[in-house]
Amino acid sequence: MTTPLPHSLRSDARDNRERLLAVARTTFAERGLDVAMREIARRAEVGPATLYRHFPTKEALVTEAFREQMTACTAIVDEALADPDPWRGFCLVIEAVCEMQARDRGFTAAFVSAFPRAIDFAADRGQALGKVAELARRAKAAGKLRPDFVPDDLVMVLMANGGIRAPSPPASVAASRRFAALLIQGMRAEPALSPLPPPVRLPLSADAGSRR
């Protein structure tokens, strides 16, 4: 390219990019990730070529669309990890992720999906999960979290919370709050606790969480 792009054209491109991201967020939030790229383009009123110029793959679109939420998620986990009471920190994570999911199904669907080529997204997720595992270790050491909790249980909680359907977004958030409180009570170390049945590996998969 020899001449610089005219300002208005660069501005158009930026507008398209923002509109595509906004449409992707709304659509993923409503319907999970089971949405064709073509459908995102159609809803954003741009041609497929424009969409693919900005986001060559669905992974790229997902990563960009959820960058802000991933940052928020990381911030929650960091705040929880900094709490001097690890059990309070652990409860904060459960509550916050359930609420975040009730507000935006798309992000959680993205979070539990394996997008092998979404390198940045997967790296951020790996870090967040590692921090939650560390938090769980500390909460167990403090005698507050039941010893048979495993980090995989968090994936189970996310999947389960995602299954709750309420007639409106506020009802969805309210139901998730009650659900999280019940689970937190179940995760608390109590004097005479019956052991849980063995944990199950629930692999992150491209399909998991992308429906409903």
Say whether residue 171 binds a second copy (CB under 8 A).
yes
Amino acid at the residue 198: P
CB 154 within 8 A of CB 134: no
Nearest residue to 96 (alpha-carbon basis) of 126, 112, 63, 72: 72
Say whether residue 169 binds a second copy (CB under 8 A).
no
Say whether residue 164 binds a second copy (CB under 8 A).
yes
Options 4-12, 77-85, 137-145, 163-171: segment touching a second copy (CB under 8 A): 163-171
Helices 37-44 and 58-65, interaxial angle, to 10°?
A: 60
Say whether residue 153 binds a second copy (CB under 8 A).
yes
Our CB check for a second copy shows the closer of 75 and 193 to be 193
Say whether residue 5 binds a second copy (CB under 8 A).
no
Amino acid at the residue 13: A
Element housing 102 (H / E):
helix 86-103
Q: How many angstroms separate the CA atoms of 11 and 117, rounded? A: 29
Say whether residue 88 binds a second copy (CB under 8 A).
no
Say whether residue 64 binds a second copy (CB under 8 A).
no
* DSSP code for 204: -
Say whether residue 209 binds a second copy (CB under 8 A).
yes
Residues that bind a second copy (CB under 8 A): 153, 156, 159-167, 171, 174-175, 177-179, 181-187, 190, 193-194, 196-203, 205, 207-209, 211-212
